[in-house]
Chain A
Amino acid sequence: MRAMKDGRPASGQMFSVATSGGGSRAALAAAAAILIMLAALPAFAARNLIQDLIFLFYMLALAQCWNLLAGFSGLISVGQQAFVGLGGYMLFALTLFAGLDPLLAIPLAGVVCATFALPTALIVFRLRGAYFAIGTWVVAEVYRLVFAQFKGLGGGTGTSLAPSVTSTVFGIEWVKALFDVRTPAARDIISYWGALVLMAGTLVFVYAVLRSRRGLALGAIRDQEAAAAGLGVDIYRTKRAVYVAAAAMTGMIGALIYLQKARISPDAAFSVLDWTAYVIFIVVIGGIGTMEGPVIGAIIFYLLQRYLADFGAWYLILLGTLAIAVMLFAPRGLWGFVAERFRVTLFPTRRRLVIGADEVKGG
C-alpha cells in the first residue's frame, strides 16, 4: 500500500493517507495481461469481432473523457460531440488536403481540438451548472453548422475518404504480410490497435490526473466549489485545463472513429445522440465518478446495442428509461453498488485516512 503522507497527531497514533484499496495491485497485473492479450487478438479473431471491439473501445474512451468532466470535475457537458466532429473533420482535412498519413493526423486533430477548446471554454465557462450543459450543446451546433458550410469537405452532405488514403496507412503492408490478410481487414486491424491505444491511453491519463494534486483539486471543486476556492484552488484554471485535455482526447478519438468509418457528414459527426447521449448512458449505468463504472457501462451498452439496436425507437426508449431508473434508484450506478457491497476498487483514486502504523504496512 502506498502511503502518500505520514504524520503523528497529538495522540501519538500513526496515521497516513492511502489511495490503494483491496485488489488494486492484482487489478494492475490483470490490466497489463488483458492489454497484451487484446493487442495480440487480431492474430486469432474474426474480422467482425475486431470491428465490434473498435466500437467498444472508442465508446469506452469517450465515456472516460466525459466522466472526467462530469463525474470528477462537475463540468456536465452535453456538447462533447463538438470535439468528436471536429477531430473527425480534421482527420479528413489533414489527409485529403495536406496529404498527411492518417496515423499522424490523429494526434494533430487532438492538438487542433485543444486549440479550439481554449476560446470555447472562455465563452461556455460563463455559464454555470445546468446552463453550462446547454451552452456546450449550442457550441456543438455552431460547429456543425459551420462545417456544413465548407464545400471542400462536402458541405451539408459530407464526404468520403479516398481509398488511396485509407489503404496506404502507415504499417498496412506489414500487417498484411504478418496476418496474411487483404487490405480492408488490415485497415481494421490498424484501426483496432489505434482504438486500443487511445482507450488504454485515456484510462492511464484519467487515472494519472486523479492521482495527482490536480485530481484532488478537481474533487474539491466538484464537491464544494466555495470551500475549494478558500483552500487556494484556482478553480477557473483547473477546470479549463480539464476541459481542454478532455477536448484533445475526444478529438483524437473522433479522428480515429472517422478513419474507421471513412465517411463523414455534419449531422453524423456532430450527433448529440451518438457521441453524447450514448456516452452519458454508459457512464450513468456503470457508475459516474468512478473509473470502473464506464468500463462496465460500455460493455453493457455494447451488448444492448448488438442485440437490441434493431428495435430502433423502442431500443432508445429502453435506454432512456434505464438511465432514469438508475439515476433515481441507484445514482452511483452498477459499479457503485458493487463497490459498496464488496468494498473493492480496481482504480484506486480516492484517498482514505488510515489510522495505526500496522495497517499502513499491512496493505
Chain B
Amino acid sequence: MTGALDAVIQGVLLGGLYALFAAGLSLIFGVMRLVNLAHGDLIVLAAFVILVVAEKLGLDPFAAVLVAAPILFAIGFVLQHVLLNRTLGRDLLPPLLVTFGLSIIIQNGLLQLFSADSERLRSGAIETASIALGGGIAIGVVPLLTLLSAVAVIVILNLIFYRTPLGRAFRATSDDPEVAQLMGIDHNRIFATAMGLAFVVIAIAALYLGLRANFDPTIGPARLLYAFEAVIIGGLGSFWGTLAGGIVLGLAQTIGARIDPEWQILSGHLAFLAVLAIRPRGLFPRALD
C-alpha cells in the first residue's frame, strides 16, 4: 500500500517536470500553430547555457537561470524572427523540416562543444534534501519545487494570455493573423515574442532537468516526445490540460518502472497510445485542431 502511494506521489512529481517540458511546446502551438521538432534539443541547449553561466560566473543554478533566461529569450526571439517566421504558411512541411534540421544542428553543435559526457547542474545540499511524510514516504525538495514551478508557470501563462494586451494579441493572431494585422498587430513580432517567452519556459524546464538527473547532448528527442505526449494526453489548447497530461505521463512511467525498471519509458508511451485510442482529442480538449 505504501509502495503504491509512494509511486503515485513520485509519479505526480515527475509529471511536474513533463508539464514544464510541455508548456513551451503548448505555448508555441497555441500562438502560431508551429510544431517544433527541436523543442527537446532546445531544452538541452538551455541546460548547457545555464551550466556555462553557473560555471563562468560561479553562480548557483537557481541564480544562473535568471541570467540565462534573458539570453534565451533573445535567442528565441531572433530564431523566430529570422528563421521560423519564413516557414509558416499553409504548407506543413517547411516548419517541420526546418525544425527537424535545427534539432540535428543543435545536437551535433552541443556534441562538438561539450563532448558526449554527462553533465549535471550542481546546487549543493538542496539536490538530495527531502521532506519525510511518515510511513516511509519522503518527497524530494527538487521534485516538489519542479511541480510547484510547473503550476506557477501555468498560472502565469494563463494570466499573460487572458489578462494582458500581449495575451490578447497572441490570441487574436492565433485566431486570424490577417485580421489581427489589419488591427495593427505585427504578427511577425508577436510570434517572435511568443517564441522568446517559450524559451524562458524552456530555461525553467532545463533548470529542473539538470538538477534532477544527468544530461548530455543526445537526450533532446526523448524530451520532445514526453512534451508532445503530455500536450496530446491533456488535450490541445489548454495549459491546465497540459499539466494534467504531464502528470498522467509521469504516473504511467513511475508505475511502469515499479513493475520492471526497463518498462518505465515504454509504459509512458503505451499510456499515450491508449489515450489516443480511447480519447483522441485528449482528456481536456479545448482547441479544435
A residues at B contact (CB < 8 Å): 70, 74, 76, 78, 122-123, 126-131, 133-135, 137-139, 141-142, 145-146, 148-149, 272-273, 277, 280, 284, 288, 312-314, 316-317, 319-321, 323-324, 327-328, 331
B95: interface (CB < 8 Å): yes
Jot down 16 A-B pairs with beta carbons below 8 A, ordered by A. Answer: A78-B37, A123-B277, A134-B225, A135-B276, A138-B229, A146-B266, A272-B221, A280-B100, A288-B93, A313-B111, A313-B112, A316-B104, A317-B112, A323-B100, A327-B94, A331-B94
B262: interface (CB < 8 Å): yes
In angstroms, Cα B278 to Cα A123, docked, is 10
Q: Which residues of B contact A134 (CB under 8 A)?
A: 35, 37, 224-225, 228
Q: Which residues of B contact A314 (CB under 8 A)?
A: 108, 112
A320 touches B276 (CB 8 A): no
B105 touches A131 (CB 8 A): no
- Which of B67-75, B180-188, B267-275 contacts its partner? B267-275
Q: How many residues of B contact A (CB 8 A)?
A: 41
A-B pairs with lowest CB-CB distance, top 4: A130-B35, A126-B280, A313-B108, A320-B104
* Chain B contact residues, majority secondary structure: helix
B101 touches A133 (CB 8 A): no
Q: When A and B form their complex, what is the total count of cross-chain residue pairs whose Cβ atoms lie within 8 Å?
A: 116
B98: interface (CB < 8 Å): yes
- Are A277 and B265 CB-contacts (below 8 A) given A126-B280, A130-B92? no
Q: Which residues of A contact B151 (CB under 8 A)?
A: none
Could you tell me the distance in whole angstroms from the C-beta of B232 to the nearest C-beta in chain A? 7
B109: interface (CB < 8 Å): yes
A133 touches B37 (CB 8 A): yes
Q: Which residues of A contact B108 (CB under 8 A)?
A: 312-314, 316-317, 320
In angstroms, Cα B112 to Cα A313, docked, is 6
In angstroms, Cα B98 to Cα A131, docked, is 15
A76 touches B225 (CB 8 A): no
A320 touches B95 (CB 8 A): no
Chain B contacts with A in 212-259, Cβ cutoff 8 A = 221-222, 224-225, 228-229, 232
B101 touches A327 (CB 8 A): yes
Which of these, B96, B98, B109, B221, contacts A76 with CB under 8 Å? B96
Could you tell me the distance in whole angstroms from the C-beta of A223 to the nearest C-beta in chain B? 10
What would 8 more interface pairs be, CB under 8 Å, given A317-B108, A320-B102?
Answer: A78-B37, A131-B35, A142-B266, A148-B262, A314-B108, A316-B104, A317-B109, A321-B105
A324 touches B273 (CB 8 A): no
Which of these, B86, B109, B225, B232, contacts A141 with CB under 8 Å? B225
The residue of chain B having its C-beta at the shortest distance from the C-beta of A142 within the complex is B269
B97: interface (CB < 8 Å): yes
A145 touches B269 (CB 8 A): yes
Could you tell me the distance in whole angstroms from the C-beta of A227 to the nearest C-beta in chain B? 13
A324 touches B269 (CB 8 A): no
In angstroms, Cα B83 to Cα A280, docked, is 20
Q: Which residues of A contact B95 (CB under 8 A)?
A: 130
B117: interface (CB < 8 Å): no
In angstroms, Cα B271 to Cα A142, docked, is 11
User: Among the interface residues B86, B98, B100, which one has the most CB atoms of the partner chain A within 10 A?
Assistant: B100
A145 touches B266 (CB 8 A): yes
B111 touches A141 (CB 8 A): no
The residue of chain A having its C-beta at the shortest distance from the C-beta of B93 within the complex is A76
- Are A123 and B276 CB-contacts (below 8 A) given A130-B35, A133-B35, A323-B101? yes
B87: interface (CB < 8 Å): yes
